[in-house]
Amino acid sequence: QAGTVVAVGLAIAAAGFAGRYAVKAMKQMEPQVKQALQNLPKPAFSGYYRGGFEPKMTKREAALILGV
């Protein structure tokens, strides 16, 4: 039983050190991550049609939704 308590304590300590290391690594990588996110292509639906819909879709409304 004492061995289990020691093992659990060591596991918790290891998780704490690993978490600390991960946080430090993420702080150093933050500028690279921001740059990579800015270089991603914009999604095709980023400027989606923001409007109400008619009871029956018109050609104009369909063109606005499709972005053509």
45 in any annotated domain: no
8 pLDDT more than 90: yes
Name the residue with tokens 């095709």.
Answer: 44
50 falls in which pLDDT band (50, 70, 90)? low
Q: Which residue has the higher pLDDT, 53 or 25?
A: 25
* 50 domain-assigned: no
Q: What are phi and psi of 18, to 5 degrees?
A: -65, -40
Structure confidence at residue 38 (pLDDT): 82
Domain count, the chain: 1
Domain that holds residue 23: 1-40
Residue 12 makes CB contacts below 8 A (sequence gap 6+) with none
Residue 63: its pLDDT value, please? 83
pLDDT tier at 17, thresholds 50, 70, 90: very high
Taking the C-alpha atoms of residue 54 and residue 6, their distance in angstroms, rounded to an integer, is 68
